[in-house]
Structure 1
Amino acid sequence: MNKSYKAVGINLKSSPLGESDRLLTILTAEYGIVRAIAPGARKHKSTLRGRSEVFVENELLLYRGRSLHRIQQAQTLASYPSLSQNLGKLTVAQYWAELVLAQAVSEQPQTELYEILTEHLRRLHQMSAPSAQTEVQALLARLCHGIYHLLAVGGIAPQCFRCTFSQQAIAPPETTEETWQVGFSAASGGIVSLAAFEKTRNRQQKTSSATSGTCREAPSSYRTDRIPDNRTGWPPLTGKLNAGELAMLQQLPSPQLPAEWLVPPAATSPSHCQGLSDSWQTIEHLLRQYAQYHLGTSIRSATLLNACITMF
């Protein structure tokens, strides 16, 4: 078996190893996640120094080791220098990388995941905004768009168009209604009609009451911690969206977001920009809870994201 092989990959993690090496976690289109040593990459004159930076795409010649592989040659195909120059962009890219690492596997092609990640990184790299406020809005919109697409590749994107309880279509009202809301439940898989949620909760409460009235003693093996809390319903709501936020959520499956959500017209008032930023923050929070629930991992970059938004 030939232990040398070629792959195209993008660096998602980089850490020091030994005196001068780097250990890279690379997403490759052909072989999924590869952990490889970049020998001498921390030396000043090493040809691998820049090619071992995070979010650099390389054409690689690797040697297959027992547990870690070894980079023999690397030729850079693309890099995204603006990510390292802007804390907000870098945080968004790291957020996506965490989602990829939670989904990708080794020794299996990950072509679609690779293409989606690199496309969103390219858009993020090219993004520009005329002011700090519009930059926050654009970053959050780009972030949410990427989160949805990465989850969709894994087949776990949230339901945005139908109630996960009743399966009835839900669309925001054509006229603005400030009190109109729809629920979102990570456990049930997406948006939830509040009427259907209440109906289900009431039905569960009645069933629970009837059961408790006929079964006064439970066997010792009965697990009471598995009983849903009928005070909050089951599955519980993660949060709620207003009409405008639902409209924004329902745009996420599209290949492109409306241009005015990314770069608002010059005449757009600061209050309108702030409103859009607040709405994107709400959507990001719900998507984060959803991703953490279904992937079984926490997204550490979210803490830095909140700090970045505060700084802006």
Structure 2
Amino acid sequence: MYRLTGINLKSMPLGESDRLLTILTPERGLLRVVAAGSRKSKSKFGGRTGLFVLNELMIKPGKTLDRIHHAETLASYPGLSRHFGLLTASQYLAEIALNQALEDSPQPDLFNLLTEHLQRLEQLPPNAPVAAVLAHLCQGIFHLLALGGIAPQVHHCCLSQKPLIANPTQLNPEIGFSIRSGGIVAPAQLQQVQHQQQPSVQNQDADHEAVANQAAFTPTPNRYLNGHQLSLLQQLSQPNLSAIGDSPDIAWIVIEQILRDYTQHHLGRAIRSATLINSYVASCQTQRT
């Protein structure tokens, strides 16, 4: 028998009355354990097997799967379940954490970071606007990517490594974001690369194949950002957010979509919870009209 602390990130039925829980723990990383009889109405586990419930656990080793012998709830984040946007954002972060988590390997930093961002989301008011929900979601995504060593470069051009200082008053999209390059790209640098890849007039035929090969590696931006959107993106690397209320919904919608595409590319799989974010944003926009 061993003791650990874990937060439930995934649950699925097992057999007639059991649940198979996927738990993130600081002591042993990702753990899959059985909560025997937890689907029965009079189960001793009660609500301890719910999503985002943080428990202190006593685990009994098994031949194939370990089993929960005792569970004592430490936190449950009830505010998340009362707001569709907050719950969806939490599931989004949990999905990324599940893709980063390792089995049988201590991961206190990942555990602490995820629970910290769940707390931040829960502290938002029940009527939190779309901008606030997306802002906290985006910062959680960025921090998780940074912990995994794959956060996009947002303060320096990926091509020149020169700093790019955001001008929030610049409303025309100017700065590119290239998933392939790993972050923001200055237009001047992109134009320079494209110009260098143009074949000379004298050797146009001879250079055709080389140019075609080079074009495959051209860091063509997937999106373009204006100065305000760039300033929001750069803010995500900070410990805390500021001036959320001053930003329109569309700005954070753009940032979330950029981070979503970037994350899915680097994880090599789709984020299923992201489709629920689309539904949440659409429903909020419908209510306003």
Give the TM-score normalised by structure 2. 0.91
Q: 2 CA distance for matches of 1:206 and 1:38? A: 65
Partner SS state of residue 114, structure 1: helix
Residue identity matched to 2:249: S
- What residue in structure 2 maps to residue 86 of structure 1? 83
The Cα of 1:204 is off from its aligned counterpart by 2.6
Q: Deviations over 1:25-84 (max 9, x none)?
A: 111111111011111111112121311001000111112334422111111111111212
The Cα of 1:186 is off from its aligned counterpart by 1.2
Aligned residues: 283
Q: Deviations over 1:141-190 (max 9, x none)?
A: 1100100011111111111100001100001137x233352111111111
Q: 2 CA distance for matches of 1:74 and 1:211? A: 72
Cα distance change, pair 114–172 in 1 and its aligned pair in 2 (3 A): same
- What residue in structure 2 maps to residue 156 of structure 1? 150
Unaligned 5+ residue runs, structure 1?
Answer: 219-225, 265-271
- What residue in structure 2 maps to residue 113 of structure 1? 110
Q: 1 CA distance for matches of 2:273 and 2:99? A: 13
The Cα of 1:211 is off from its aligned counterpart by 8.2
Partner SS state of residue 33, structure 1: strand
1:26-45 map, 5 Å = 26-45=23-42
Contact map agreement 1:238 1:289 (CA 8 A) in 2: no
Residue identity matched to 2:106: P
Please identify runs of 4+ aligned residues in structure 1 that moved more than 4 A: 209-212
The Cα of 1:227 is off from its aligned counterpart by 3.5
The Cα of 1:9 is off from its aligned counterpart by 0.7
The Cα of 1:236 is off from its aligned counterpart by 2.8
- What residue in structure 1 maps to residue 12 of structure 2? 15
Residue identity matched to 2:105: Q
Contact map agreement 1:22 1:37 (CA 8 A) in 2: yes
Q: 2 CA distance for matches of 1:74 and 1:300? A: 29
Partner SS state of residue 198, structure 2: helix
Contact map agreement 2:174 2:224 (CA 8 A) in 1: yes
Q: 1 CA distance for matches of 2:226 and 2:175? A: 6
1:191-270 map, 5 Å = 191-206=184-199, 213=206, 227=213, 229=215, 234-258=218-242, 260-261=243-244, 264=245
Aligned-residue sequence identity (percent) comes to 46
Q: 2 CA distance for matches of 1:148 and 1:177? A: 24
1:276 aligns with 2:248: yes
Q: 2 CA distance for matches of 1:80 and 1:18? A: 28
- What residue in structure 1 maps to residue 282 of structure 2? 310
1:287-302 map, 5 Å = 287-302=259-274
Q: Deviations over 1:215-239 (max 9, x none)?
A: 88x9xxxxxxx94546xx6233121
1:165 aligns with 2:159: yes
Q: 1 CA distance for matches of 2:107 and 2:178? A: 29
Contact map agreement 2:199 2:207 (CA 8 A) in 1: no
Cα distance change, pair 310–67 in 1 and its aligned pair in 2 (3 A): same
* Structure 1 stretch displaced more, 176-185 or 290-299: 176-185
Partner SS state of residue 165, structure 1: coil
Q: 1 CA distance for matches of 2:61 and 2:23? A: 14
* Structure 1 stretch displaced more, 237-246 or 59-68: 59-68
- What residue in structure 2 maps to residue 267 of structure 1? none
* Structure 1 stretch displaced more, 233-242 or 73-82: 233-242
1:49 aligns with 2:46: yes
- Computed over aligned residues only, the root mean square deviation of the Cα atoms, in angstroms, reads 2.3
The Cα of 1:206 is off from its aligned counterpart by 3.1
Give the TM-score normalised by structure 1. 0.85
Contact map agreement 2:6 2:24 (CA 8 A) in 1: yes
- What residue in structure 2 maps to residue 181 of structure 1? 174
Cα distance change, pair 214–82 in 1 and its aligned pair in 2 (3 A): closer
Contact map agreement 2:8 2:53 (CA 8 A) in 1: yes
Q: 2 CA distance for matches of 1:104 and 1:211? A: 50
